[in-house]
Amino acid sequence: MKKVRSLKAHLTILFVVLAAIPLLIVGLLTIFYLTDTTEKEVTKKNNLLAQSMAGEAERFLQEPLHALEEFGDNFLLNRAFTEDWFKMYSRNFLKRHGYFQSVRVLNEKGIVHFIAPFDIDYVGIDMSARDFFVNARMMKRPYWSHVGLSIQFGVPSTSLAIPYEEFTVVGLLNLISLRDIIERELTSEHGYVVIADQLGNVIAHKDWRFVEQQAKMRGYDVIRDALSKGENSIRFFVDDVEMIGTFAGIPTAGWVVVVVQPAEEVFGQINYVRNVIIVSMVIAIMLAIILSAASIERILKPIRLLVRGTGKIAEGMYDMEELRDLRQSYLEVEELTNSFDAMGEALSNRERFIRESEQRYRNLFSSIRDVIIVADQDRLILDANQPALRELFGYEIDDIRGMSTSVLYASDEEFNRPGREVFDSALSIGGKLLETEFRNKEGTVFKAELFALKLIDSDGKVSGNIGMIRDITDRMRLEEQLIHAQKMEAVGQLAGGVAHDFNNILTTIIGYASLLQIKIADDEAMKSHVDSILSASERAATLTRSLLAYSRKQIMQPKPIDINETLRKMEKFLIRIIGEDIRLDTVLYTGPLTVNADPGQIEQVMMNLATNARDAMPDGGGLCIRTELVTMDRKFIERKGYGEEGVYALITIADTGIGMDQETVAKIFEPFFTTKDVGKGTGLGLAMVYGIIKQHDGFIDVESDRRRGTTFYLYVPLTEEALSPALGITPSIEPNRGSETVLLAEDDSVVRELNREIVENAGYTVIVAADGEQAVDVFMKHKDDISLLILDVIMPGKNGKEVYDVVRTVKPNIKALFISGYNEELVQAKGVLSDGSRFVYKPVPPNMLLRAIREVLDLSETGHN
């Protein structure tokens, strides 16, 4: 990643550069200019000096050359002369030209022929190997030998050789005079002048030791190079000290004069200027840094505060109070601060909106009663709605966050198969609903519905899924209950329907059998048969009533009764039913438990339950009956899965019998379901109990255990009405006979004829009608005669109640007896009952019919009383 430079560093560098660059440029230009001009000046001056010295040296060399040439020429002319001439001439010559130390004449072989001053050692020796001899003869011109220290005289000397055809004249020249040339005053303090020979050996130097030691001049090679290129000045180093050498050649001998001056001395002034520039630059840079530090601080302070501001915003603090001061600094900063402020406010608002939105979402999420699990691609739990999770699974989200969702499933099987199926479907087709089993923190396995959706991230990519787990325990129980209720209802419908028609049949059988019994009173054998018919018919009628009771179509005559009272009255009867081997305990609620109930039906219920208890305890045991006052609230209803809020009288009937398995318990209230041997039970006992309690708007529950026996719970809603004395009907002990005229309306012709015969046999005058219309017509004809209407409730044309209503418009005090097999009919007939009309349900035994007729007729009379 590219490194980001700080603004401060950048600006500081910029300041420094701005301060230093112009100074640097000016300084460098100045230095270059000064260096150039100074060097040129010094070089020019030194060059003049070198040239003048070279000129002098040149002249110094020209003089002996001319002298020796003259010597040679004379020798050539006077060769014929003897040694004496040479002695004389050379003595004068040496005296005249003091710079010659000696003069020799060598023959063509290089052997010394004459030497002056005379030296025996040198006469006759071979000098053919000497450079001056070799070079002079080779070049055929005067030659200056390399400079050496004269062995004889201890001074720097050079041999000048001038070749002639048959001899060579050699003069040994003392170069000590060169010292005078170079030891002129130099303006330079550390400078010096050197004369070097062809090999670079120092032949003149103010420090004469260099000459004596035949030292090679330092830098000679570069100087020689430069000289050959026509240059006259060069820089070179002596012991790491830079020198400027300015030079001029001495062509005659091939020597060079070099004026040497240390560069430091030449450029001293420039160095001073350079130092001044450096110091100025440093000062300028320092000032630039200080100034930049101060002004940058002023620029950077707002930025730093704004940076701090962004930090605060990042931490969620939107108060920009400390930025207020910045408004005073710069216009741009003020604009920036204002927009920053606005941004802070906008961010604050947006964040609040997001927070509220988040809170709404969170509330929504938490309030959902289904468990919502957010999982990633690997099915690891990311989040869940805590309340539902705790409620259903008992976990806290932090217990399971990051764990696999397998922790929630009942087993790996559920996790891998249905769980995977739903997960995959969520990712592919977008969701599938499955029922599967889960396990809560306690380890309890339960059934739930699982549904999943894709989890889409902010980039629109699938990043996992959202699983919804809905507990369906309650729903399943309700469903079972509904199915059960529907089944019971269907059976009830069936039973009720059958019972209606069956009652008519039984009415006929019983009626005619009763008539037959009267007619064959003397024939004992026949009477026995008819008695059997009547007995069987009676049983069939009871059966029909039971069915009607179960189907809740039995005619109920409810009134406020105290359940405790009813049970107390029944106690002895119940003891008889259960027998001696079974002990009866009765624990009754201390206060009255007033319910709106048909006492006869309540007795029927208790009787049936006692009978069942007895049969469950063939070897004896205990039966406990208890009454309580209970309140059903919402919790109770949720727990039990049934009920309706209110106050109830609870009758608990518990036995210590053999108990039942759950399968049996589930079917116990179904009609014709029995565990008893064939013939021992009808399978309607408990069905009746169920029907009666339901008809009383109550609830029934049963718990059974193979070891502890069975307990029934009967809940009957409590009424607040005061206990009222029962409107008991005093059974007539009078013969049920009469002479009144009766209108009998019955659509079933067989029943109509049976009842006409029964009623007529009892002394009444009977006018019959086949339906409601006819009944009204007949009544209108005999309205003054007819005292009582016997009406079937259900008839074609006009039903019983409609007939009754019409008749009453003509004869308001007319008495009526309704006959029906349906409770609904009773309802239709309601309203007339209290007006002295009565109701009997099919099948009606003849004596009961006659008694009812008598009662209605008598009642009205009583009423009149």
Residue from 508, 602, 505 nearest 549 by CA:
602
Nearer to other proteins, 38 or 338 (CB): 38
694-698: long-range contacts, CB 8 A cutoff, minimum separation 24: 694/552, 695/549, 695/552, 695/554, 695/556, 695/601, 696/556, 696/558, 696/595, 696/596, 696/597, 696/598, 696/601, 697/644, 698/648
- CB neighbours of 491 closer than 8 A, spacing ≥ 6? 550, 551, 670, 671, 687
Nearer to other proteins, 199 or 543 (CB): 199
Query: What gap in Å lies between CA 190 and CA 261, rounded to an integer?
Result: 7
Distance of closest approach, residue 115 Cβ to other proteins, in angstroms: 13
Tokens of 504: 């008519």
Nearer to other proteins, 148 or 620 (CB): 148
Check residue 431 and report its DSSP letter. -
Query: What gap in Å lies between CA 519 and CA 832, rounded to an integer?
Result: 37
Q: Are 830 and 713 a contacting pair, CB within 8 Å?
A: no
Distance of closest approach, residue 313 Cβ to other proteins, in angstroms: 28
> Hey, what's the torsion of the CAs at 61, 66, 71, 77, to 10 degrees?
150
Side-chain half-sphere of 862: how many Cα atoms within 13 Å? 11
Query: What gap in Å lies between CA 219 and CA 216, rounded to an integer?
Result: 9
- Look up residue 247 and give its amino acid: F
Nearer to other proteins, 242 or 424 (CB): 242
Query: What gap in Å lies between CA 854 and CA 731, rounded to an integer?
Result: 10
Q: Which residues pair with 194 in a beta bridge?
A: 205, 258
- CB neighbours of 623 closer than 8 A, spacing ≥ 6? 578, 582, 583, 584, 585, 610, 613, 614, 617, 653, 654, 655, 656
Distance of closest approach, residue 357 Cβ to other proteins, in angstroms: 48
Distance of closest approach, residue 232 Cβ to other proteins, in angstroms: 24
Distance of closest approach, residue 125 Cβ to other proteins, in angstroms: 4
Nearer to other proteins, 198 or 652 (CB): 198
Does an H or E element contain 399, and which?
helix 397-400
Nearer to other proteins, 288 or 506 (CB): 288
Nearer to other proteins, 281 or 403 (CB): 281
C-alpha distances in Å from residue 100, one per residue of 61, 133, 377 = 11, 17, 116
Distance of closest approach, residue 337 Cβ to other proteins, in angstroms: 23
- Look up residue 839 and give its amino acid: F
Nearer to other proteins, 102 or 860 (CB): 102
Distance of closest approach, residue 266 Cβ to other proteins, in angstroms: 16
Strands 646-655, 621-632: pairing kind: antiparallel
Distance of closest approach, residue 120 Cβ to other proteins, in angstroms: 5
Q: Tell me the DSSP string of 689-752.
A: HHHHHHHTT-EEEEEEETTTEEEEEEEEEB--SPP------PPP-S-S----EEEEE-SSHHHH
Distance of closest approach, residue 377 Cβ to other proteins, in angstroms: 54
* Interface residue list for other proteins (CB under 8 A): 12, 16, 110, 120-121, 124-131, 146, 149, 151, 154, 198-199, 209, 212-214, 216, 239-240, 274-275, 278, 281-282, 285-286, 289-290, 293-294, 297
Q: Are 325 and 301 a contacting pair, CB within 8 Å?
A: no
Nearer to other proteins, 195 or 610 (CB): 195
Nearer to other proteins, 200 or 464 (CB): 200
Helices (H) and strands (E) in the chain, counts: 25, 28
Distance of closest approach, residue 127 Cβ to other proteins, in angstroms: 6
Nearer to other proteins, 216 or 312 (CB): 216
Distance of closest approach, residue 463 Cβ to other proteins, in angstroms: 50
For residue 390, the tally of other CB atoms under 10 A from its CB is 16
C-alpha distances in Å from residue 257, one per residue of 182, 202, 206, 264, 629 = 9, 10, 13, 21, 146
Nearer to other proteins, 35 or 386 (CB): 35
Nearer to other proteins, 214 or 517 (CB): 214
Query: What gap in Å lies between CA 617 and CA 613, rounded to an integer?
Result: 6
Distance of closest approach, residue 66 Cβ to other proteins, in angstroms: 28
- Span between the terminal Cα atoms of the chain, in Å: 117
Distance of closest approach, residue 273 Cβ to other proteins, in angstroms: 11
Nearer to other proteins, 74 or 135 (CB): 135
Distance of closest approach, residue 303 Cβ to other proteins, in angstroms: 16
Distance of closest approach, residue 7 Cβ to other proteins, in angstroms: 16
Query: What gap in Å lies between CA 848 and CA 514, rounded to an integer?
Result: 12
Lookup result for tokens 């608990």: 652
Distance of closest approach, residue 81 Cβ to other proteins, in angstroms: 24
DSSP-based three-state secondary structure for 248: strand
Residue 300 backbone phi and psi in degrees, to 5 = -80, -25
Distance of closest approach, residue 126 Cβ to other proteins, in angstroms: 3
Nearer to other proteins, 258 or 795 (CB): 258
Nearer to other proteins, 127 or 840 (CB): 127
Q: In this structure, is the dihedral angle defined by the CA atoms of residues 761, 780, 776 and 821, taken in order, positive or negative?
A: negative
Nearer to other proteins, 268 or 763 (CB): 268
DSSP-based three-state secondary structure for 497: helix
Distance of closest approach, residue 199 Cβ to other proteins, in angstroms: 4
Whether the bond into 731 is cis, omega within 30 of 0: no
Q: Tell me the DSSP string of 123-179.
A: TT-B-TTSHHHHHHHHHTS-EEPPPEE-TTTSSEEEEEEEE-SSEEEEEEEE-THHH
Q: Are 379 and 405 a contacting pair, CB within 8 Å?
A: yes
Nearer to other proteins, 124 or 579 (CB): 124
Side-chain half-sphere of 857: how many Cα atoms within 13 Å? 22
